[in-house]
């Protein structure tokens, strides 16, 4: 997982580059929590562009990061959902809770 913080926008972007399963979730969770505490962003975006597989552990990880972001006063969003990830998010109902960011490139000129 790669992360980038944009000071002027208080935006923290996590680009997930691994499959999201029970083994990788612990690493992603620890890194995301550390980075969110470190930077105290106003907006956190998880980029799923490179994710080829995600199971139920990934749903729990995203919901946990959503709660953590709310605790520190940040908004959490997801972006660039692959078809398989989007299907899982739709079935689980996460997209009713967490918005999809469509314009992070324009917002902070990231990537």
Sheet holding 75-79, edge to edge: 2-6, 11-15, 43-47, 75-79, 100-101
Q: Which residues pair with 5 in a beta bridge?
A: 12
109 Rama class: left (phi>0) / alpha (psi -120 to 50) / beta: left
Encode pLDDT of 78-100 as tens digits: 999 999 999 999 999 999 999 99
Q: Is the pLDDT of residue 111 over 50?
A: no
Domain that holds residue 103: 2-108
pLDDT band at 102 (very low <50, low <70, confident <90, very high): confident
Residue 107 has what pLDDT? 52
- Mean pLDDT, residues 61-71: 97
User: What is the Cα–Cα distance from 82 to 108, expressed in whole angstroms?
Assistant: 22
User: What is the Cα–Cα distance from 100 to 103, expressed in whole angstroms?
Assistant: 9
Encode pLDDT of 11-49 as tens digits: 999 999 989 999 999 999 999 999 999 999 999 999 999
User: Which pTM was predicted?
Assistant: 0.88
What are the backbone angles phi and psi of residue 93, rounded to the nearest 5°? 85, 5
Find the CATH number of the domain harbouring 102. 3.30.750.24
Residue 95 has what pLDDT? 94
Dihedral, 30, 36, 38, 43 alpha carbons, nearest 10: 160
pLDDT band at 57 (very low <50, low <70, confident <90, very high): very high
Provide the 10 A C-beta neighbour count for residue 109.
10
Q: Is the pLDDT of residue 110 over 90?
A: no
Tokens coding 84: 């398989």
- Mean pLDDT, residues 59-79: 97
Number of independent structural domains in the chain: 1
């Amino acid at each position: 997982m790669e992360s980038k913080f944009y000071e002027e926008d208080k935006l923290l972007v996590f680009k997930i580059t691994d499959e999201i399963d029970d083994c990788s979730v612990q690493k992603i969770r620890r890194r995301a929590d550390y980075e969110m505490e470190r930077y105290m962003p106003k907006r956190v975006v998880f980029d799923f562009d490179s994710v080829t597989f995600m199971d139920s552990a990934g749903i729990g990880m995203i919901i946990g990061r959503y709660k953590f972001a709310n605790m520190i006063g940040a908004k959490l969003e997801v972006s660039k959902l692959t078809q398989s990830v989007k299907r899982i998010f739709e079935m689980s109902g996460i997209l009713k809770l967490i918005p999809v960011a469509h314009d992070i490139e324009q917002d902070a000129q990231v990537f």
